[in-house]
Chain A
Amino acid sequence: MKPSRMILAAACAGLLLTAATASAEVIGDIERGKALAGEICVACHGADGNSPVPMFPKLAGQHADYALKQLQEFASGRRQSDIMKPIVEGLSTRDMADVAVFFAAQQPLPGQVDDPSMLDAGRRVFNEGNPDQGVPACAGCHGANGIGNARYPRLAGQYPAYVLDQMAQFADGRRSNDKRLMQTIASRLGETETRAVAEYIASLEGSK
C-alpha cells in the first residue's frame, strides 16, 4: 500500500482549531481513505463523494483540512449530528485524515439548480452580500467561484437542500462550530436571499 499522494505538513486537532492563521495541510493516504470510505461513507455520500441524496452533502473536492475538522467535531460533539456521530466516533485521527484526503481528491459533479429564476439574486448576495444587514459577500471567504480554501469550505455545486439545512442550523444555533461567523450571517440573511444564494451556489462550477 503506497500513498499515491502525500500532502505535506502536520494535521493535529489543536492546529486546525486555531484556524484563522493555521495553514496546516493534511497528511493522508488516499488508497486507505478510499477503502474506509467504501465501508462507512458510501451509502450516504456516494463512492466518489458525489452523494446521491440532496440532504447529504457532496464531499468530492472538499478541502481535506476542512473535512478533517468537521469529522473531528462530529466525533467530539462540537458539531452535533445524530447521524454522523456514531459513524465517526470510532475513527482514529489517521482514519479521518485518510478519508478527508480521499474525498478531496475526487472530482465533484456539477450541481443542480432547482429554481433558475433566483440565480441573479443569489449571485448578488454571493458577490456583494447585503450591506444594509451587515452581511459580507460569501465570495470574501469562499472565493468568487465558491472553491473555498483550507479554512473555508468549498461550496460550488453543493445541493441547495443541504446548504439550506446548514443555514437554518447556523441561524438557530444548532450548528455552532463556526466561530459564530456563519451564525451571524445566517441570522442576518432573509429567507428569500438564503434560498437564492443556495441556488447560486449549486450553479457554481468551481473551476479555478
Chain B
Amino acid sequence: MRYALSAMSLLLVACGSTVAQTGSAPRAPGIESSGYVWNQPDPDKDAALAHRPDIEKGKIAYEVCQGCHQPDGAGRADAIYPSLAGQHASVLIKQMMDVRAGRRDNPKMHPFVGEWVVSVEDVANIAAYLSQLPISLDNGKGSGNRLARGRELYDNDCASCHGDNGEGRAAEFYPLVAHQHYAYLYKEAVMIRDGERRNANPKMVVVIRDYSNEDLKAVSDYMSRLALPAAAGR
C-alpha cells in the first residue's frame, strides 16, 4: 500500500510538474542488477534492427540530433558529443534504444530520443543514415604522451573485439572506436570501469577493471588516433 501510494504521488508529481522535461529519464535494470544480460532482446531494438532502413528519411529524422551531433555527424570534442558518422548501424540502434529505455543513463539526450520524438523506424533510418556518412577525421585527440603504453594495452586487451584498426564489429554490436573523440572515449571508459555505464558489456568491465585512470587515458588516446584502412570497417 505504501508502495502504491508513493507510486501514485510520484505520478502526481510527474503530471503536475510544470517543467516538461518532466519525463525524467526512466531507469531500467542494468549491470548493477543480478541476472543482467548484456544486449538482451528488446522489442523496440529488435524491430529497429529488422527494419529495412530508408536513408533519406533518416537524414530528415536526424535533424533533431544535429543540434548537438552536428550535421556531418562529427559530434564535438569540446562538448563530449561523440562522433557518430560511420558508426555501425547496429551499434547506433542499440545505444539509442538503451538510452530511450533507461539502460544507459543520459538525461540530457533522453528527451530527444523518446518514442514521442522518433519512431522505431526513425531510429533505424537515423542509424542507417549515420553509418554511411564519411567518418570525420579531425576528431579530438589526447596528449600523445603515452601512446606506446596505449598501444600495448589496446593490442593486448581491446583489439580482439574492437579490431586491429579500431573498426569494431557490427554483427557483435562492438563500436567503431577509431577516430572517436578522445574525451568521449576516456569518459565512457571510466564509466564502464566504474559500473556507471549501466549497459556495458561485462566482458569489457572485467578486462579494464584494474586499469588506472592514466592507463585509460593512454588507451583512449591511442584509439582516437587509430586509422581505418581505406574502405574498411563497413
The chain A residues found within 8 Å of chain B, CB to CB, are: 20-21, 23, 129, 131, 133-134, 136-141, 149, 151-152, 170-173, 176, 179-181, 183-184, 187-188
- B60 (CB) vs chain A CBs: closest residue: A21
Q: Distance (Å) between the CB of A74 and the closest chain B CB?
A: 19
Which A residues are CB-close (under 8 A) to B61?
A: 20-21
The 6 closest A-B pairs by CB, nearest first: A140-B67, A136-B67, A134-B108, A183-B20, A131-B79, A184-B111
Q: Report yes or no: A187 in contact with B21, Cβ–Cβ below 8 A.
A: yes
B147 within 8 A of A: no
- A144 (CB) vs chain B CBs: closest residue: B71
Q: Report yes or no: A179 in contact with B117, Cβ–Cβ below 8 A.
A: yes
- A18 (CB) vs chain B CBs: closest residue: B119
Q: Residue A181 contacts which of B78, B79, B109, B111 (CB distance < 8 angstroms)?
A: B111
Cα A173 to Cα B118 with chains together (Å): 21
Q: Report yes or no: A136 in contact with B112, Cβ–Cβ below 8 A.
A: yes
Q: Report yes or no: A21 in contact with B121, Cβ–Cβ below 8 A.
A: yes
Which A residues are CB-close (under 8 A) to B116?
A: 179-180
Cα A163 to Cα B93 with chains together (Å): 35
Q: Which of A21, A151, A170, A188 has the most C-beta atoms of chain B within 10 angstroms of its own C-beta?
A: A21
Contact mask B1-37 → A, CB, 8 Å, 1/0? 0000000000000000111111100000000000000
B173 within 8 A of A: no
Q: Report yes or no: B67 in contact with A187, Cβ–Cβ below 8 A.
A: no
Q: Report yes or no: A131 in contact with B81, Cβ–Cβ below 8 A.
A: yes
Q: Report yes or no: B20 in contact with A170, Cβ–Cβ below 8 A.
A: yes
Could you tell me which residues of chain B, from 89 to 124, have a CB within 8 Å of some CB in chain A? 107-109, 111-112, 114, 116-119, 121-122
B76 within 8 A of A: yes
B205 within 8 A of A: no
Q: Distance (Å) between the CB of B20 and the closest chain A CB?
A: 3
Q: Report yes or no: A21 in contact with B57, Cβ–Cβ below 8 A.
A: yes
Q: Distance (Å) between the CB of B187 and the closest chain A CB?
A: 13
Which A residues are CB-close (under 8 A) to B107?
A: 134
- A129 (CB) vs chain B CBs: closest residue: B67
Cα A23 to Cα B57 with chains together (Å): 9
Could you tell me which residues of chain B, from 110 to 168, have a CB within 8 Å of some CB in chain A? 111-112, 114, 116-119, 121-122, 125
Q: Report yes or no: B68 in contact with A181, Cβ–Cβ below 8 A.
A: no
Q: Report yes or no: A141 in contact with B63, Cβ–Cβ below 8 A.
A: yes
Range, interface on chain B:
35 or more
A-B contacts besides A131-B68, A136-B112, 6 pairs, CB < 8 Å: A20-B118, A141-B64, A180-B20, A180-B21, A183-B19, A184-B112
Q: Report yes or no: A151 in contact with B57, Cβ–Cβ below 8 A.
A: no
Q: Report yes or no: B63 in contact with A140, Cβ–Cβ below 8 A.
A: yes
- CB within 8 Å for A141 and B67 given contacts A131-B81, A183-B20: yes
Which B residues are CB-close (under 8 A) to A151?
A: 60, 63
Q: Report yes or no: A140 in contact with B68, Cβ–Cβ below 8 A.
A: yes
Which B residues are CB-close (under 8 A) to A134?
A: 107-109
A-B contact pairs, 21 of them (CB 8 A): A20-B64, A21-B57, A21-B60, A21-B125, A129-B68, A131-B68, A131-B78, A131-B81, A134-B108, A134-B109, A136-B66, A137-B68, A140-B66, A141-B66, A141-B67, A173-B19, A173-B20, A180-B114, A180-B116, A183-B21, A184-B112
Which A residues are CB-close (under 8 A) to B66?
A: 136, 140-141
Q: Report yes or no: A181 in contact with B64, Cβ–Cβ below 8 A.
A: yes
B65 within 8 A of A: yes
Cα A140 to Cα B63 with chains together (Å): 6
Cα A140 to Cα B71 with chains together (Å): 7
Which B residues are CB-close (under 8 A) to A140?
A: 63-68, 71
Contact mask B166-205 → A, CB, 8 Å, 1/0? 0000000000000000000000000000000000000000
Cα A181 to Cα B63 with chains together (Å): 12
Cα A137 to Cα B21 with chains together (Å): 17
